Amino acid sequence: MGITRRHGGVAAAVLATALTVVGCTTTTEGGDGETAPQELTYVPAFFPVSLDPHNFPAEEGTQVAAQQTLETLVTYNDGEAQPLLAESWEYSDDELTLTFQLRDDVTFSDGTPFTAEDAKASLDRLIELDKALAPLFAAVTETRADDDHTFSIVTSEPLGTLLASMSLVFIGQAGAMGEDSYWRAPVGTGPFIVDDYVADDHVTYSRNDDYWGEAAQLDTLEMVSMPEVAARITALGTGEVDVISSIPPDQVAGVQDQDGVEFIQDAGYLYYFIWFNHNEEPFDDQRVRQAMWHAVDVEGIVSDLYGEGATAATAPIPQAAFGAADNGLYEHDPERARELLADAGFPDGFETSMQWPREGGPNIRSLGQAFISAWAEVGIDVEPLEKERASWLEDFGSMNWDLNLQTNTTATGDADFTLNRLYTCEADRLGYCNPELDDLLAQARASLDPDERSELYDQANEIMWEEAPGIFPADIQNNLAYGSQVRGLELPPNNRPYFSTVSIE
């Protein structure tokens, strides 16, 4: 397999930026000397379908909305857990029990004390709902509230990913989470209070003046629904809104040209993949999969479509995540692609199809069509199937597809989140199975040693790059645009901004 090497080592893990707090400033002085309220309007790329992060863990809008009012025991930053609601933690000698010591000065916004029962109930609920995050906790055999401020998790085997996974578990109130009404305005321990939520319209927050940490600087925060990208950009330029996210690459220049608008962009956890259905011929043949990768000038396509908004991928997870190796790029070699196809019994190519969801990611249609055009040059005729999201999800879940193009995210910033959930024999998400890969991933998941885990993921990455269970075109850059009056806004790699440190000048 011809591979072009690129310089660079394994990326350090970065997860959601730790909740940095600053001194409270609640108003800004107007031109007449009077103070104006600190109010900010944010337009997310995806409006929250709910405020329940346990029930909708894969909905980006829900996660962003929830984290303004709910908190986790830890955050994850630069590959290390940082304390939030937990002050400290330790593993037992056999590495099967992780015990957290919780802060004793925290209350929910209604004045109820935060205790270990809330931590236990939140993790229990997330596991019992059996949604997208539940597999991260498959090894958990027991959760315990040992006392008011001591919470323990027992696992059937050592679990080196447990702290990273706990950074995704939002803590709600133990006695209230079972009621639907709670999730219309969840009461949390965070810096903001939910005042109003109207589906497909807005979420309004006010500052939690009794927050256990440093109070937020904003008096009010509003998330509003604005589905059309052009409308968001116009609203930002006119000052109707203060912050917008996930600007498509072909519209970035227009945003940057606006007076009074700032633009930030950085590496993140979002990436594209094209999966092969290994249950169907000819994709059960590694030679065919490699041929389809060699047929495409991935680097050229990514550069043309995204400019600085993406980089050609060199691993099955983005480089911002812990455990991403630099495997180099598959060499663009159409002649080699034809040779591999002939060896596999397809000298004249074959016909197939590729599905993707409408509005499924930046330039997704153009990306799909560019790959289809390249495949046609080596005799592979691919029918494009752009589907409404509901139809695409149904077909995706039932394996009713040949090729599948979509975005995905390594939400914890750790390779385990993606590789163990998607590529093990037990996961069976695309018909791909390699016991050697399973063994490496199991060892990496169990280890508490970051260096050992990194080495194991290097080996796992190499296997996947050689066997090509899918094609991995691009790591997508995160971006935000905001009015120049906004101060303190940061862009975390998971693209889920916190607003507790933000102010209006």
What pLDDT band is residue 34 in, cutting at 50, 70 and 90?
low
In this prediction, residues 171-175 reach a mean pLDDT of 97
365-415 pLDDT, tens digit per residue, is 999 999 999 999 999 999 999 999 889 989 999 999 999 999 999 989 999
DSSP 84-106: SSEEEEEE-TTS-EEEEEEPSS-
Within a domain: 257: no
Residue 1 has pLDDT above 50, yes or no: no
In this prediction, residues 266-294 reach a mean pLDDT of 98
Within a domain: 194: no
Are 150 and 290 in a shared domain?
no
Are 358 and 465 in a shared domain?
yes
| Domains of the chain: total | 2
Are 368 and 466 in a shared domain?
yes
- Written as one letter, the residue type at 403 is L
Are 278 and 164 in a shared domain?
no
Domain boundary among 145, 172, 187: 187
Domain boundary among 187, 218, 234: 187
Within a domain: 193: no
Strand ranges (DSSP E) for 149-238?
150-155, 192-198, 202-207, 220-224
Residue 364's H or E segment, with its range, is helix 364-376
Q: Which three-class secondary structure state does DSSP give residue 302?
A: helix
Are 296 and 181 in a shared domain?
no
Predicted pLDDT of residue 32? 54
Place of tokens 């979509």: 406
d(CA 321, CA 454): 11
Within a domain: 142: yes
Query: Nearest 5°: phi and psi at 54?
Result: -75, -40
CB 440 within 8 Å of CB 420:
no
d(CA 416, CA 410): 9
Contacts of 397 (CB under 8 A, 6+ apart): none
- Written as one letter, the residue type at 213 is G
The DSSP secondary-structure symbol of 217 reads S
Query: Nearest 5°: phi and psi at 155?
Result: -120, 160
Within a domain: 47: no
Residue 409's H or E segment, with its range, is strand 403-409
Within a domain: 327: yes
CATH number at residue 135: 3.90.76.10
323-348 pLDDT, tens digit per residue, is 999 999 999 999 999 999 999 999 99
Instruction: State which residues form the domain around 292.
Output: 267-476
Are 174 and 305 in a shared domain?
no
CB 121 within 8 Å of CB 177:
yes
Pairing of strands 310-312, 329-330: unpaired
Terminal alpha carbon distance of the chain: 56
Predicted pLDDT of residue 390? 86
CATH number at residue 314: 3.10.105.10
Within a domain: 300: yes
Write out 14-71 in H/E/C secondary structure: CCCCCCCCCCCCCEEECCCCCEEECEEEEECCCCCCCCCCCCCCCCHHHHHHHCCCCE
Are 280 and 396 in a shared domain?
yes
Predicted pLDDT of residue 235? 96
Closest residue by Cα to residue 395 from 318, 458, 403? 403
Are 308 and 416 in a shared domain?
yes
In this prediction, residues 243-271 reach a mean pLDDT of 93
Are 283 and 412 in a shared domain?
yes
Closest residue by Cα to residue 498 from 192, 265, 193, 213? 192
401-442 pLDDT, tens digit per residue, is 999 999 999 989 999 999 999 999 999 999 999 999 999 999
Are 288 and 145 in a shared domain?
no
State the chain's mean pLDDT as an integer.
92
DSSP 226-248: ---HHHHHHHHHHTS-SEEE---
Give residue 239's region: left, alpha or beta (phi > 0; psi -120 to 50).
left
CB 475 within 8 Å of CB 249:
no
Within a domain: 233: no
Domain boundary among 153, 187, 221: 187
